[in-house]
Amino acid sequence: MSSAVTDNRKAGPKQASTVDRETELIALGMAFRRVFRSFNRLRGRDTHLGANELSHAQFELLLELSERGELPAGELAAAARLTPATVTQMLDHLAVQGHVERVRSETDRRVVVSRLTPQGQSRIDAKREAWQSRWEQALKGVDVEELSAATRVLERLGAMVEDAPVSGGCEPSAGASPAA
């Protein structure tokens, strides 16, 4: 029997729930790190792609254009959290491949916008379809309430990461509880 379980049996109900919560928070943190690292490895594999394959970052740009419509490179860079220079280079490559087209804005002719081509939309649809069965298989047996709870947890974690201080410190501010 693990020491955590033994400690829970010796502890009162309030202490046991605190230990259970701390254990689950640690397990959640470790799972979050594994998923984050998996995404980093996925992005790292992009360096080994063939000329006609889409990288994860390129796919993200195409998704932004699909979901938000035509955008100037600066807005696309901000949405994708990439530098404008990187996005411009990626858009040039995507245009050569026929996935996007770059045109003058109809509302402000000084602005160049990128928009998805039908071919680009087809690539998004194909990639989504390829991942859909993997997604469904991975979440098979997870009930609706668990999916809803997972969504809420991921949204909170996403907000926490977005609101993280620029200093890079992970310590809670004075007076804040570690679980807050």
The one-digit pLDDT tens for each residue of the chain (180 residues) are 444 444 555 555 566 677 799 999 999 889 988 888 887 777 666 555 566 678 888 888 999 999 999 999 999 999 888 899 999 999 999 999 999 999 998 888 888 999 999 999 999 998 888 889 889 999 999 999 999 999 999 999 888 888 888 765 555 444 333 443
Predicted confidence at residue 109, as pLDDT, reads 87
CB 22 within 8 A of CB 11: no
Predicted confidence at residue 88, as pLDDT, reads 92
Predicted confidence at residue 2, as pLDDT, reads 46
What distances in angstroms separate CA 138 from CA 60, 131, 133, 143, 168, one per listed residue? Answer: 22, 10, 8, 12, 33
Alpha-carbon gap, residue 22 to 27, rounded angstroms: 9
Predicted confidence at residue 180, as pLDDT, reads 38
| 130 CB neighbour count, 10 Å cutoff | 9
Predicted confidence at residue 11, as pLDDT, reads 54
Predicted confidence at residue 14, as pLDDT, reads 60
Strands (E), 49-111: 71-72, 100-104
Predicted confidence at residue 48, as pLDDT, reads 57
CB 83 within 8 A of CB 77: yes
What distances in angstroms separate CA 86 from CA 42, 58, 73, 77, one per listed residue? Answer: 19, 10, 10, 8
